Structure 1
Amino acid sequence: MSLNVLLQHWERVHMDVKSFNSSSFVDPLKNCLYNVEGWKTRRLEVIDLIYSVETSICIFTEVGEQGHDFKISDYNTFYQTGLNRSGGVCICLGKNLKGVEIDSSIPNTVVVDIYGLSEPLRIIGIYWAASQQRNLMDLSNFVINNTLIAGDFNAAAMDWGSPTDDNRSFLLKEWIEENDLLYDFWFDLQKSITLDDWYKLYIRFLGAAKNRVTTWKNKEKFRPALPEFIRNKLKELRKVRNNYYRKRRYDIDNEAERILLRTLNREVQADIANYRSKRWSNFLEKIQESKTKNDVNFWSHLGKLYKQKSLPFAKLKVNNKIISDKEVIAQELYKYYTDQFQPPYIDRNDPHDSEIENEFQDILKSFSNSMEIEQTNIKEICYAIKSLKPKKSAGYDSISNFMLKLLPPGYLQCLWNCFNLWLKECRFPHDWKVAKVISLNKLKTGIPSSDQTRPISLLATHSKIFERLLLAELFNSNKSFVNLSRNTK
């Protein structure tokens, strides 16, 4: 399966089956790695995980001594014991795959060859306990083409997101390099195409991967403020009230329902009062707990009480008319915002405007002639990504800050090449100048008009990183220029 076909498949995962013909796409092979920490106590959790992710290959580590009883319907299991009662590795293959176990005689290691695919695949499941002494060269004999190695190595490396490095990570890195196990697809792809084309493909891949792993659920627009048992009582109260007034209209004796209605009304009012009192007490306790930590948490909790939320709107008022079609609303808002945020008009005949424009052009020439922006490094990119808030809101490219914080180190090397090219060319990519605009309603009630909405622009996340790098370079250059000018005086 080519990359373009895979991305098209991922981009249309959540589309309506009737509107999308998936017969031309091959379902990608999915695998799951999970540290069980005891099959006896977490058996049901593991089974739920397997059927929820709908994967064909599962690698489980630290299954314990009960790994011999590791049986799951519709799956074939291959188990290898560990050095203690907590060890053990198990590989589960769907019965649609044909698997043959390779005898390795290595504790905490399972080697399985899978047939029936377009190409044979070898799976090596490993659990490297913290107290286990393992010679990685023993695994080199089992590494062939199309080998997937997965497991828990208990190794810490800063390149992998850990706070420190340990000796095990150095041994593991040396073994990976000696056996040429890393396949730097994106790094190799960057050498064959231009950096701009690579960046567009990389952005498309991240957006498609997000769409692939996102679980979409139907959710109500407004979350109920009352718990379920009170809502059920309110429904029952509404039924009794309607029945009571219906009989009262036709002069039917309904004394029993009158008493029941009064009793239910009192119970519901008491439950609502108790619920609000309990919720207010919990809120005050949280404020008190946050006050003991620091003032920032205190005011953040207190600010939630007075924060006004913008109400969603599905209609728009235009020239005494009300429109409800989403595309028409988007077009009307686009026209309004375009008129509001037009670039300033410069009159060349006006001496004031002409003078300002000439000064601006002189400043641009001085910058272009005297300033050279230095190239950035991977450490600065890592620092810029860490400084971003872990928000999940995304711009037009569907990439959020939360996603960038999870990027592997290999992607940062490729981004470093792109950023340095754009810094060298003094160029800001055109796609970053496009923003995703969300309109918020200013009104608390009623249907708003275009001038009663507030636009929020969501920019591309990579542009924020590039701007931070550029700001740091400009700050350092300007700082050295100021120091030089002070020394010359």
Structure 2
Amino acid sequence: VKFIGEQQASIKEITDDLISKWKSQHGINLAITARFGHMHSLLVFADDSPTFESLLDPNRWPRTLKEADLEVKVPRQSPPEYSLIIQQFHRNWNEDEWLTELQHRYVSLYKLTRMRVKDGSLLNAVRADFKSIDEVKTLIRSGKINVGSMIHPVKPYHLPLRINKCLKCLRHDHTTKSCSQPRLCPRCAAEHSLEHGCPNHERCINCGSGDHISGHSACPIVQEKRRALVEQAKRKRAELLVLAERQHHYNYQERDYPALINHNLSHSSSHISHQPVGSSQRSYAQATLNQREQAPKQNIEHVLSSFLDKMERRLDEFSSRLSSQLCDIEKKINVYSDRQLEMENIINELILPSIQELSRIVSQSSKNRNKLLPLLYELSDHQKRIGIETLQECCWTWNFHDLSNFWQQHYRQPEVPTTCLSMLHYNIRNFYSNQVDLIEMVNIHSPTIISLNELGTVVPKKLIKQLLFSYNVYIKEGTNAHGGVVLAVNNRLKCQLIEINEPNIVAVRIIIEGQQIVVASIYSPPTEQLPLTTLTTLLNVSKNIVITGDLNAKHPDWGCPQVNTKGRILANWLNNHNLNVLNAGTKTSLRSNTTIDLVISSEIPETSDSQSLPYTGSDHLPIFTKFFRLNVLIDKFLVPRTYWKLYSSLLIVLHGQFQAEQEIALSNSTNTFNWFLMFEQFLAALKLRVTEWKEVKQKRPSISPSLRILLRHKHYLQNRYRHSKYEEDRLRLRSWNLLVKQEFRALRQRSWEHFISKVASPSPSTFWSTVKKLNKKKSIDFSALTDGNTVHRSPEDIVKCLNLHFTERHSQPLLNMLDILDKDADELWKLYSLADKEDIKLVSSQSDLQFSEQEIKNTIRSLKNKNSSGFDQVSNKMIKLLPAHYHVLLTHAYNELFRAAHWGKEWKMARTICLNKSDNPAPTTSQLRPISMLPTFNCGNRKPYQQRYATATKLRERLAPTA
């Protein structure tokens, strides 16, 4: 309430007058609280919803309060309790048209607002604002609303999370009360007087954009902070759910709270003696007095004479020791005086000049520090510490080349943690009876590969996949009632199924450390022959092979006391193909002292370890084997986290030093190119310096942290019930499982709505980038290359074959001398080949080919935002993040290179990556897709010239007819 005239009444007098007038005019008792605000205006707060709804109508207000005219300003937006979300409201519908129709049915409805996603595209939902909270509660309770002749679901409306913003400097990392910065204009983020408004354009101080004010919901900084707060709220909710579920069930543990046994306490206390203290003290004094009385009497004169003799001897020893120490002290004083003279000479000749140099470096460091601190204002404390440490290292006496080498050696990517390949083979005999033992073995030993024989019955693949959810499962039926084999490979290990049209055998092809390995699981019943033909075929696929299974073959070579026909045949086949039994002598059967479950491999037994596990649910013991020579990256990954904003801030501070280096280098074209090489090396090293490597268990989590917390608690309840089998644990698991399913259904619904909104986006790029993911096919790694009838398997042979292929593919074209253009080009090339290099430089120096800063800036802006890099280790993203000051430096350097016509060999090399376009792990050269990654600065050098050349060509074609 703003008073037009002067108001001298107190708050109580004004509110009493308002309440009495409202009661007399409208018959409503107001429940309000009021206080004075800016410019002596009255702020009125409603204590309940009827009062708030009554005060919202400006026509109900009296014209005067305490004989003073007033002006009422109602809130622009009602509280969120007065709004709801209408879902399935088509994005093509007009809100204003439907508002008029809905107001006939819902009288208090006064506004419809279309909901939008982060990128600004429309959603199939609107926010409906009402003047009556009762009507909103009724609609939410029913869960639906009538829109025309259709029923639409509704849900409550919640305000977006509020992002804290300082009202002085307009930043988000502190409050207004703690800010010591000057007050900025909320519109243009500049420091000027606000008395006459702001004529400047809108500008955000946080992201630097010029299309919104600071703190606007479209600001990427605000959106990023809001996403973090939303995720934090979800995680907090999940943790509270887990905590509440645990608090409902208290488990008494006797070992944590042992009971007190009273009879032991009373028994032990009965043995305590209660002798008085005084009696013990009197007995000790009496004993001491008796000893003194019984001691022999000594002559006092004899005692004094012996004491004086001792004192004289000690004084003589002390005087001789003191004189020797004084001599030693004099010698040391002489030595120290000589050393002092030497130190004075060193200080004057070396230390004082070094101190002067260090003071210069410290002053330069303090200047750079003062430049850097404002740029680090919004960064975290950890990033600030990295920035200041990096700046201190830059202020050492090293040049940029030595500093880059230091960073590349000390901050390169750490070695990725690896673990040895492990395999679990288990003749499970009956899958349903012994699946609990299988789960326990997998949880304890975490094998990379699991082999199962004799499932006992037909088991659906879906059931095994649910049990071994982190493995790729391959299954093959058996020839008898209890046959069948399963091979499960950890889904973080790249593998491919080998097609075998034979029962009781399944094989896959995996790639470990660049080499191809075949892994097979086989069950051979006692009455059937060994599938040696199939095994020989697998050996032809790869010499590196691992075969495991129940082969029912007995032979003394692997520790069996008997020998049978299958054992003799298998022993001969192993000798012919140089294969080894890794678990020789390990008992695998509980019915006899034999080894019939075998682990056969091209690896030698010294580089592996096989042991049987103590699980007796089946009549076969499981075998766990480790291959120490084969390392796999399964458990953990190293993920880089680069602080790009710190990267740009440091480059801003170091701009002056690079400018000074360039001024020195511009005197010679070779030095200019060397400046480019130095700049490339420094950018690559700086990126390593501001990068930290985090060790994670999963590279890209597919679900949010809040859902992972709920799922982790479900696994805890699942394992608890498997061990206890209590009805209470079963009910807890069931209720929690329902909650997790509900959360996942909501996640799928949100993901689908997000996907559909992107498909329906009016932007073609958004549409195609979304649809492309549906048919995106992952490239299969290859470890061999097929060239005609030859298969190259070693890396040296593969590289040699590719080199020959691309050399022939990109060989020099043959010139047709009958063609005038080819003939002129050949003559011109011969002319330039015979010319002197100095003459070429002289002609180039007189050329008027000069590129402007805007052309270089446009070239950098046109680069795609990629992180991949070639031999120069500089990516497009690193170039695009260069501050604007560096565009001038690059323009001068490029013009100098064009003037001198000098490009080094480093810009004429490309790093080529070949991707497999087929499903064959040994593709031909025509089935490869080569991707060449050129030096990034060479692209910036080449594109402006190509644009100038294209412009000149178009101009010549346009002028040709007139000529």
Report the TM-score when normalising by structure 1: 0.51
Residue 935 (structure 2) aligned to one of 460, 467, 472: 460
Q: Secondary structure at the match of 1:486?
A: coil
The 1:419/1:448 distance shift into structure 2, 3 A limit, reads same
The 1:398/1:221 distance shift into structure 2, 3 A limit, reads farther
Tell me the alpha carbon deviations over residues 453-476 of structure 1, each in whole angstroms, 9 at most, x when there is no partner.
Answer: 644322222222222122123223
* Partner residue, 2:701: 224
Matched, 1:377 2:851: yes
Measure how far apart 1:341 and its partner are. Answer: 1.6
CA distance in 2, matches of 1:40, 1:197: 42
Residue 799 (structure 2) aligned to one of 334, 339, 343: 334
CA distance in 1, matches of 2:792, 2:738: 42
- Aligned pairs for 1:48-67 (under 5 A) are 63=181
The 1:217/1:450 distance shift into structure 2, 3 A limit, reads farther
Tell me the alpha carbon deviations over residues 171-230 of structure 1, each in whole angstroms, 9 at most, x when there is no partner.
Answer: xxxxxxxxxx96631332213552222222222222222222233333555312123343
Q: Is the 8 A contact 1:440 1:454 kept in 2?
A: yes
Aligned residues: 328
Tell me the alpha carbon deviations over residues 38-91 of structure 1, each in whole angstroms, 9 at most, x when there is no partner.
Answer: 69984599x9xxxxxxxxxxxxx96359xxxxxxxxxxxxxxxx999xxxxxxx
Q: Secondary structure at the match of 1:217?
A: strand
* Partner residue, 1:272: 744
Report the TM-score when normalising by structure 2: 0.28
Q: Secondary structure at the match of 1:487?
A: coil
Unaligned runs of 5+ in 1: 1-34, 48-60, 66-81, 85-114, 126-144, 154-180, 248-252
Q: Is the 8 A contact 1:37 1:64 kept in 2?
A: yes
* Partner residue, 1:119: 360
- Aligned pairs for 1:243-322 (under 5 A) are 254-288=726-760, 290-291=761-762, 294-300=763-769, 302-303=770-771, 305-306=773-774, 308=776, 310=778, 316=783
Residue 203 (structure 1) aligned to one of 680, 683, 696: 680
Identify which range, 475-484 or 378-387, moves more after superposition. 475-484
CA distance in 2, matches of 1:206, 1:384: 19
* Partner residue, 2:453: none
Q: Is the 8 A contact 1:381 1:416 kept in 2?
A: yes
Measure how far apart 1:276 and its partner are. Answer: 0.6
Q: Secondary structure at the match of 2:962?
A: helix
Q: Secondary structure at the match of 1:215?
A: strand
Tell me the alpha carbon deviations over residues 220-246 of structure 1, each in whole angstroms, 9 at most, x when there is no partner.
Answer: 553121233433444444455556566
Measure how far apart 1:312 and its partner are. Answer: 8.2
Q: Is the 8 A contact 1:391 1:400 kept in 2?
A: yes
Tell me the alpha carbon deviations over residues 237-263 of structure 1, each in whole angstroms, 9 at most, x when there is no partner.
Answer: 44555565667xxxxx65555555544
Measure how far apart 1:397 and its partner are. Answer: 1.4
Measure how far apart 1:376 and its partner are. Answer: 2.6
Q: Secondary structure at the match of 1:437?
A: strand
CA distance in 2, matches of 1:474, 1:123: 45
CA distance in 2, matches of 1:464, 1:389: 12
* Partner residue, 1:3: none
Q: Is the 8 A contact 1:434 1:459 kept in 2?
A: yes
Matched, 1:343 2:808: yes
Amino acid at match of 1:277: Q
Residue 188 (structure 1) aligned to one of 655, 663, 678: 663
Q: Is the 8 A contact 2:849 2:898 kept in 1?
A: yes
Tell me the alpha carbon deviations over residues 409-433 of structure 1, each in whole angstroms, 9 at most, x when there is no partner.
Answer: 6644443344345445656542223
Tell me the alpha carbon deviations over residues 300-337 of structure 1, each in whole angstroms, 9 at most, x when there is no partner.
Answer: 4x335425263686x835799999xxxx76x5653453
CA distance in 2, matches of 1:272, 1:458: 41
Q: Is the 8 A contact 2:711 2:740 kept in 1?
A: yes
CA distance in 2, matches of 1:237, 1:401: 44
Q: Is the 8 A contact 1:187 1:410 kept in 2?
A: no
* Partner residue, 1:6: none
CA distance in 2, matches of 1:246, 1:401: 55
Per chain length, whose mean CA-contact separation is higher, i.e. which structure has more relative contact order (CA < 8 Å, sep 6+)? 1
CA distance in 2, matches of 1:298, 1:388: 22
Q: Is the 8 A contact 2:897 2:903 kept in 1?
A: yes
* Partner residue, 1:14: none
Amino acid at match of 1:190: A
Measure how far apart 1:295 and its partner are. Answer: 3.8
Structure exhibiting the larger radius of gyration computed from Cα positions: 2
Tell me the alpha carbon deviations over residues 315-372 of structure 1, each in whole angstroms, 9 at most, x when there is no partner.
Answer: 835799999xxxx76x56534532432234989xxxx956379877524246667999
Residue 214 (structure 1) aligned to one of 669, 675, 691: 691
Q: Is the 8 A contact 1:388 1:401 kept in 2?
A: yes
Unaligned runs of 5+ in 2: 1-165, 184-190, 194-355, 376-654, 833-842
* Partner residue, 2:875: 400
Amino acid at match of 1:217: K
Measure how far apart 1:392 and its partner are. Answer: 3.4
The 1:42/1:271 distance shift into structure 2, 3 A limit, reads closer
Amino acid at match of 1:273: R
The 1:150/1:263 distance shift into structure 2, 3 A limit, reads closer
* Partner residue, 1:436: 911
CA distance in 2, matches of 1:216, 1:265: 36
The 1:365/1:418 distance shift into structure 2, 3 A limit, reads farther
Q: Is the 8 A contact 1:384 1:465 kept in 2?
A: yes
CA distance in 1, matches of 2:907, 2:765: 33
Tell me the alpha carbon deviations over residues 92-134 of structure 1, each in whole angstroms, 9 at most, x when there is no partner.
Answer: xxxxxxxxxxxxxxxxxxxxxxx99442755899xxxxxxxxx
Matched, 1:364 2:822: no
The 1:207/1:124 distance shift into structure 2, 3 A limit, reads closer
Q: Secondary structure at the match of 2:753?
A: helix
* Partner residue, 1:18: none
The 1:36/1:464 distance shift into structure 2, 3 A limit, reads farther
Q: Secondary structure at the match of 2:360?
A: coil
* Partner residue, 2:644: none
The 1:150/1:484 distance shift into structure 2, 3 A limit, reads same
Q: Is the 8 A contact 1:442 1:453 kept in 2?
A: yes
Q: Secondary structure at the match of 2:816?
A: helix
Amino acid at match of 1:297: T
The 1:353/1:407 distance shift into structure 2, 3 A limit, reads closer
The 1:199/1:306 distance shift into structure 2, 3 A limit, reads same
Q: Is the 8 A contact 1:438 1:455 kept in 2?
A: yes
The 1:365/1:188 distance shift into structure 2, 3 A limit, reads same
Q: Is the 8 A contact 2:865 2:877 kept in 1?
A: yes
Amino acid at match of 2:961: R
- Aligned pairs for 1:95-114 (under 5 A) are none
CA distance in 2, matches of 1:420, 1:240: 69
